[in-house]
Amino acid sequence: MSIEPKRSLGRGLSALLGEGAARPTAPAVPTRAQRHLPIGQLEPSPLQPRRHFDAAELESLAESIRSNGILQPILVRPHPARPGVFEIVAGERRWRAAQLAKLHEVPVLERDLADREVLELAIVENVQRDDLSALEEAEGYSRLIEEFGRSQDDLARQLGRSRAHIANTLRLLKLPAGVKELLQAGRISAGHARALLGAAEPEALAQRVVALDLSVRQTEALAQRAPLRPRPRAAAKDADTRALEGELARVLGLRIDIDHGRAGGRLTIRYRTLEQLDDVVRRLKQEA
């Protein structure tokens, strides 16, 4: 029985687009030749991990396209539910810039790809170009794990990343919403965000990091100094409870705390020396 070798996407889009191949090999997926399609027949893929596109960068790319055209085709696949429509696998930024440049057609390279391959290729393209934010990268990894059953080791091999990088990036998804917003806006880095993960009040600390323009190392030190969790405020005690605490304190000569609860309560006798403890034990034995 022959076993088909597992394709590696870590090589990047150049391998898929046929650039720089040392020798001809049989295509791993059905291919079609490069052609031009009306720009309106293309639409973004819901599997694309990138959600934010910088307007200034798009305008700069559009200016380049006006002068030089689109030098690399947009990778697409037939839309799984809409005949005649094509889903963008890689090159959404070029497609958006082409619209700004008022192009009517764009060069495309069509491939028949499964959902998992679309998501992997989109992550590869963006990671290689540093186009994904840390959060978008984390969300892409999370989808590959949860929706397609990939392990962190699989992703590290396929995407050319270390397993530690995959794990540390995924941890960013545990951040509260306020910290995620600062990270997505570029006001703090992924290093700052990871330093805040174990803090009791990460959103308040993140605002302080921004206000003071702290480095990652300074943020780590700040998070370590912060309490692990805020202290609960003690409930106010009624007059009878305070009176009983005072009476017991006078008898024993020690500080007494009485805390009531729905399922009972707790009596705490505080001592400073072993002699005081011995005196309490002796008194209790006498009463018994």
90 falls in which pLDDT band (50, 70, 90)? confident
| 193 or 120, higher pLDDT | 193
Q: Listing from the earlier edge strand, what are the strands of the sheet with 35-38?
A: 35-38, 105-110, 74-78, 86-90, 42-44
pLDDT tens column, 14-71: 444 434 333 333 334 445 668 899 999 999 888 777 777 778 888 888 998 988 888 8
DSSP string, 253-283: SSEEEEEEETTEEEEEEE-SSHHHHHHHHHH
Residue 208 has pLDDT above 60, yes or no: yes
Residues carrying an active site annotation: 92
**pLDDT tens per residue, range 150-175:** 788 888 887 778 888 888 889 999 99
Model confidence pLDDT, tens digit, residues 180-206? 989 888 899 989 999 898 788 889 999
Helices and strands: H and E segment counts in the chain: 13, 7
**Which of 144, 35, 49, 130 shows the shortest CA–CA distance to 86?**
35
Q: pTM for the full model? A: 0.50
Mean pLDDT for 86-111 is 90
State whether the Cα torsion 103-107-112-114 is positive or negative. negative
Query: How many other C-beta atoms are found inside a 10 Å radius of the C-beta of residue 160?
Result: 16
Secondary structure E strands in 34-173: 35-38, 42-44, 74-78, 86-90, 105-110
Residues paired with residue 75 on neighbouring β-strands, in sequence order: 90, 109
Which CATH architecture best describes the domain 9-18+27-166? Alpha-Beta Complex (3.90)
Q: How confident is the model at residue 80 (pLDDT cuts 50, 70, 90)?
A: confident
Q: Is the pLDDT of residue 7 over 60?
A: no
- For the chain, domain boundaries: 9-18+27-166, 176-225, 239-287
